[in-house]
Structure 1
């Protein structure tokens, strides 16, 4: 009688070992490329290091300096403003584009390819191209408008211009997720709504949006994280001049890059990266708490 349980335990151990063996490559990848870098950044944030001399321990000195630095708070403010400009706009346009493509109108296959092209292109290259397009003298945008507009030289227009280019780049990517979510909604749900007399607007507000909440949650969280970390697009648009003009585009990722590789203050750059991670985790948890009781996964 005791041989059967022993054989079962041995089989379970073999299955567990086989499972861990299959997971080992992923565990090594996550540990080597995610957990270890995070730990190293936290340790560097507690030091003063210029990549040349040996690191010196300063404890929480870098964090104290940043919390009292007007430049850091300006970067955080600019990043939040950029996110508030770009995130709702890109999500709304992405949803409307997905609804239009989901109708299967003629030419939607070509349209699907066209609106994804900006997302697959290098953001730095897009930033350089759009800097040419927005040039106040020879840019195509001002030529079409028939007037001279200092898009990237006016502090009141620079950040909205950057947000516009970012929305143009990401709206196709976002619409793909909404399109996938729309195609998971059973057609019978809309047929029942039409029988009850619901119009297109009513079905969009009362049925489509609630059933798309899992997709909306994913898109909102990932897009928010991406908007807080945007760097290369802004780098190309501003011509590598951090915060140009007058600090209006001084996003926090550019500030981290400048502190690390221009000023060679890696400790402060790492501290900013840690503070940014804390902000992103806090905002993500708030979003998860908001969506948790409002999501419907079962559409049968």
Structure 2
């Protein structure tokens, strides 16, 4: 009873701010509600509408493409950055703080700043390249540009997890690899990467969830124009926001949120299944 009494504040927080909202979203998804009049029960009508909604499926497609662009790039660059920091060269402590600063800053503010930098007429990016590129106006470039900014803002944060994982690998493992004649590349792929699988699993799961929920960065980069240009940046979180607070259709927006939850749970389970037989916990 003492233990449960000490855990009670956490139970209240988890229940009030996590479980109850999830239940309410599921219930609202079964209604039609505009935030003004009383909700009206519609059953599964919102889900039926979404099944035939081209805009909804386009949002899922765009979000999946964004994740495929950003996630592998973030993980690879974060691992390389962690390897460089782990060498303990002079100044790495200060650089570690610099790398994390973009993640600490508000994503909406970063989006607005990068929209200025990518401006085709007065932006610093085109000034450095010496040519005019319509970064956020060309449908073929807009989503890669958003993915680039997202990677830039998160790679330092992800590298800290890899750095912590690297520091947990015993030096004797590397000594044994050296004695066996393994070079730097072979050591990286045969020793370091396998022993970092628990860290990679955690980073992959959390990064997928974060990338599927990206909103404020895209909101700032597109100037609050959902999907600009031509629906190429219409991520699912922006679609949910627009449906809820612009179209004032809370039921439909909640149904999209529930389907997003289902997708994230399914992807997480697939990742868990993939990594479950490939993780090494005992490094003694």
What TM-score comes out, normalization by structure 1 length?
A: 0.94
| Partner Cα distance (2:89, 2:53) in 1 | 54
1:198 partner SS: coil
1:186 and 2:143 aligned: no
Residue number in structure 2 paired with 1:33: 17
Structure 1 residues 265-291: Cα deviation after superposition (integer angstroms, max 9, x where no partner): 000000000000000000000100111
Q: CA RMSD in A?
A: 0.5
1:163 and 2:147 aligned: yes
Structure 1 residues 12-70: Cα deviation after superposition (integer angstroms, max 9, x where no partner): xxxxx101101111111111110000000000000000001110000000000001000
**Aligned-residue offset at 1:106:** 2.0
Q: Which moved more, 1:188-197 or 1:71-80?
A: 188-197
| Partner Cα distance (1:158, 1:110) in 2 | 33
| 1:292 corresponds to which of 271, 276, 280 | 276
Structure 1 residues 59-86: Cα deviation after superposition (integer angstroms, max 9, x where no partner): 0000000010000000000000000000
**Aligned-residue offset at 1:260:** 0.2
Q: Which moved more, 1:288-297 or 1:246-255?
A: 288-297
| 2:101 corresponds to which of 117, 126, 144 | 117
Moved over 4 A (4+): none
| Partner Cα distance (1:234, 1:277) in 2 | 20
1:32 partner SS: helix
**Count, aligned residues:** 284
| Correspondence list, 1:15-94, <5 A | 17-94=1-78
1:220 and 2:196 aligned: no
| Partner Cα distance (1:107, 1:204) in 2 | 24
Residue number in structure 2 paired with 1:4: none
Residue number in structure 2 paired with 1:198: 182
| Partner Cα distance (2:189, 2:90) in 1 | 25
Residue number in structure 1 paired with 2:237: 253
Residue number in structure 2 paired with 1:7: none
**Aligned-residue offset at 1:105:** 1.4
Q: Which consecutive unaligned segments of at least 5 residues does structure 2 have?
A: none
What TM-score comes out, normalization by structure 2 length?
A: 0.99
| 1:107 corresponds to which of 78, 82, 91 | 91
| Partner Cα distance (2:267, 2:176) in 1 | 38
1:207 and 2:191 aligned: yes
**Aligned-residue offset at 1:165:** 0.1
Residue number in structure 2 paired with 1:239: 223
1:229 and 2:207 aligned: no
Structure 1 residues 127-180: Cα deviation after superposition (integer angstroms, max 9, x where no partner): 000000000000000000000000000000000000000000000010000000
**Aligned-residue offset at 1:195:** 1.1
1:180 partner SS: helix
**Aligned-residue offset at 1:256:** 0.1
Residue number in structure 2 paired with 1:14: none
| Partner Cα distance (2:61, 2:54) in 1 | 10
Residue number in structure 2 paired with 1:268: 252
| Partner Cα distance (2:172, 2:224) in 1 | 53
| Partner Cα distance (1:49, 1:113) in 2 | 46
| Partner Cα distance (2:273, 2:2) in 1 | 36
